[in-house]
Structure formats: structure tokens, C-alpha cells
Amino acid sequence: MKVFLAALVFAAIAAVGVSMFLNTIQQPSSVAFTTGGARVGDPGNNLIGPS
Amino acid sequence: MVKVLCAALALLFVLAHPAAAQLSFKPTAESVHEDQLLNALKEGDKITGRISIPDAMAASLIQPAGRDWRDFHRGKLPIIGGIAIIGMFALLTIFLMVRGRVRIRDGFSGRKILRFASFERFTHWLTASCFIVLALSGLNISFGRILILPLFGPEAFATMSAYAKLAHDYLAFPFMLGLVIMLVIWIKDNIPGKLDLQWLKQGGGILFKGQHPPARRFNAGQKGIFWIVIIGGALMSVSGWFLLFPYLPGNVTALQVWTVIHAVIAMLFIAVMLAHIYIGTIGMEGAFDAMGTGEVDLNWAREHHSLWVQEEQAKGHAPSGTAPRAMPAE
């Protein structure tokens, strides 16, 4: 049982760790694809976002 | 007053020139219809445009192959998945009804032998727990709209699906780690050999009641599961990597091919794992202990892995001698 729980905890920690790592090395599309001549709408504030 | 006059003149103009009015209000009436346009495009054709953002894939405006891809995901894939998963459930149910639970012929001996060390069980449960979440969240993509949406409503379904998608994306990484560790620690015991042919010819001693064929640490059935997990997992990992980072395949068509591979392998993978879960739990007496506590009953080990028991006894890792026959419980 301890081994099973340890595996679950490790999986959760690894998943959170990967998400944090990917968020630090990747940019949101609104930043990555914006140039001096074109601005990409910020998700959440455009027509298809939640707000 | 001026506004009213202008409006009256405009109305007069419209009434006096119906053709002009038609053109004003239906500018696309004489243009090419979307259906005509899409039908004129051949397989592999694309309509592309010029874009000013550094995203080359955004230049694909219309890709007719995308309709086939969408039809596959909404039509054929749920059928393939349904047949594979429901078919496996049905097969296992019939097998249980006809064959019954695979019992330990000589009963429990009460003496144990270590089957899997802690790290091996940790790796198994790491991969298995991630797989279950990945499978359920993946099935939600194919079947959620049909099965879950009507039960919980759109808001709850949308929220659940959003979290399921996050879990799917990030638990994929510990799942891939588990696959790599399993490959490293178990490959030496999973190389196919002549003994496996003998095991298969006798149905593993499971299909037909009788003597179990000899096997080392892993029998042919377990080796089959191992290689399905490794090869299937590798295909899922590569295709999933392309879905996680969709700019890697290079174009939309390649991305669609990878999603089809990911989805089809996933359905088959889930069906095979159902059989694995069945035989490791209700299908075979004493089998779950191997991944539960790590120790299995000596009689179970002798029946299913007789050569492995001899090897462990020779190393002094297992109790030797003939195990006593189990006594019925009071």
C-alpha cells in the first residue's frame, strides 16, 4: 500500500513539476506570435476567449 | 428632418431598383459556394494565404483533408473504440463464466516468495496509475459528449473536460518515465525464447484446466503484455509528444496523422490492459499479491513460474522443499 501511495504522490509531483517547467520555457501564443507589425489577441480578452 | 428625408430617398431607391437591392444585401449570391469550392479541391490540396505572424501553420486557411479527419474522430473512432473495449469486456465476462477463476491447484501453502521488489512495484503503479487517468481522460474526448454530457450538463462537462485535459497533458510525463524504467529493469526477463512456444501451445495452463507449462520469471503471456506496453507506450509517447507540441510535425496533415495513430493505439491499448487487469485480479487466484505486497504464495509461484522458483531456491531466495498442501479453512 505504501508503495502504491508513493507512486501516486510521485506521479502528482512529477506532473506539477513538468507543468511548471513547461510554463517557464514556453511563451503564451499571444506573446510568441506577436511581431512589430502584427498583434495576436490575448486569449481571454478576444472574441473566442472565456471573457 | 434631414434624416427622415434621407431615409425616404433610400427606401425609394431600393424599391425602384430591386436588382441593386439584391446585390447590396446578398453580395455572395453569385459567388462560388463553399461546397463547390471544397468539392473542387483534390486530396492534399490546400488554400493558403499570406500571414504576418511567425506561425507558418496559420497560413493554411482551408484543408479539405481536415473533414475526413473530423469524420474519423466523430464516426469511425468511437466505433473502433467501442468494439475494442466493449468486446474485451464481453470476452472476459464469457471467459470468466466458462473457465471460472484460475485457482491454485494445491491451494495456498502459507509460504511466500518475493516476486517483485519495492522499486519494481513502485514503477508498475506509477505507470499504471498514470495510464488509468490518461485512459479515462482520453476516452472522455471520444465518448464524453455522448455519455457524460447528457448526464452532467454542459457546464459541469466543460469544467471536468478542461481538468481532464490538463491531467492528460501532464501525467503523460510520469507515464513515459515509468515506461523507460520498466524497459530497463524488466527487458532482460522478457526476451522471447523456445520455452514461450511451449507455453503458448498449452494455452498457458489457463485456457484449459490442467498442468501449467514451465516458465521462468515471466511467461509468454506476461512477455506479450510487456512488449505491448513498451511498443504501444512508445507509439503513444511519440504521437502524444507531437500533440503536446504541435509545431514539431511541421504541418497540419502530419499532425492529423499522429492524432489518428494516438487515438487508435489508445483504444487497443486500453482493451489489452483490461485483460491484464482481469488476469491480475479476479481472473487468477493469488496473482494480485505479486504487485500488492510483492510476495506470492509458493504454490502459486510453482504452478505459474516453476523454473523461476527453482532458480530462486538455488540462490537461496526462496523456501525450499515441498510445500504442504493447504488445509481447508474452518
pLDDT tens track for B193-202: 999 999 998 8
Query: Can you tell me the ipTM of this complex?
Result: 0.79
pLDDT at B328: 47
pLDDT at B34: 74
What percent of chain B is predicted at pLDDT more than 70? 86
- Domains of chain B and any CATH numbers: 118-315 (1.20.950.20)
Element (H, E) at B112: strand B112-114
**Could you say which of A4, A10, A38 has the minimum Cβ distance to residue B52?**
A38
- With CA atoms as reference, report the closest residue to B240 among B268, B270, B262: B262
**Nearest chain A alpha carbon to B56:** A33
Q: What does the alpha-carbon distance between residue B107 and residue B99 come to, in Å, rounded to a whole number?
A: 18
pLDDT at B67: 83
Say if the Cβ atoms of B122 and A35 lie within 8 Å.
Answer: no
> What is the rounded average pLDDT of the residues B74-80?
91
Interchain contact B50–A (C-beta under 8 A): no
* Residue B50 CA: distances (Å) to CA of A37, B207, B252: 14, 63, 16
By CB atoms closer than 10 A (0-12, 13-18, 19+), residue B71 is exposed
A46 pLDDT exceeds 90? no
* Residue B322 CA: distances (Å) to CA of B56, B310, B318: 71, 12, 12
Say if the Cβ atoms of B129 and A7 lie within 8 Å.
Answer: yes
Say if the Cβ atoms of A15 and B125 lie within 8 Å.
Answer: no
Contacts of A29 (CB under 8 A, 6+ apart): A40, A43, B55
> What is the rounded average pLDDT of the residues B214-223?
93
pTM of the model: 0.81
Q: Which residue has the higher pLDDT, B320 or B276?
A: B276
B13 pLDDT exceeds 70? no
- With CA atoms as reference, report the closest residue to B134 among B172, B89, B179, B97: B172
Interchain contact B152–A (C-beta under 8 A): no
Tell me the pLDDT tens digit for each residue of B148-202. 999 999 999 999 999 999 999 999 999 999 999 999 999 999 999 999 999 998 8
Q: Is the Cβ–Cβ distance between B41 and B61 less than 8 Å?
A: no
Q: How confident is the model at residue B20 (pLDDT cuts 50, 70, 90)?
A: very low
Phi, psi of B113 (to 5 degrees): -135, 135
Give the strand pairing for B60-62 and B47-48: antiparallel
**Nearest chain B alpha carbon to A8:** B126
Interchain contact A38–B (C-beta under 8 A): yes
Q: What does the alpha-carbon distance between residue B308 and residue B317 come to, in Å, rounded to a whole number?
A: 11
Report the residue of A4, A9, A25 to disrupt the B interface, i.e. the one with the largest count of B CBs within 10 Å.
Answer: A4
Q: How many CA atoms lie within 13 A of B254 on its CB side?
A: 12
Say if the Cβ atoms of A35 and B52 lie within 8 Å.
Answer: yes
Say if the Cβ atoms of A10 and B53 lie within 8 Å.
Answer: no
What are B116's three cell numbers? Answer: 517483485
Contacts of B254 (CB under 8 A, 6+ apart): B242
> What is the rounded average pLDDT of the residues B218-233?
96
Interchain contact B36–A (C-beta under 8 A): no
Mean pLDDT, chain B, integer: 86
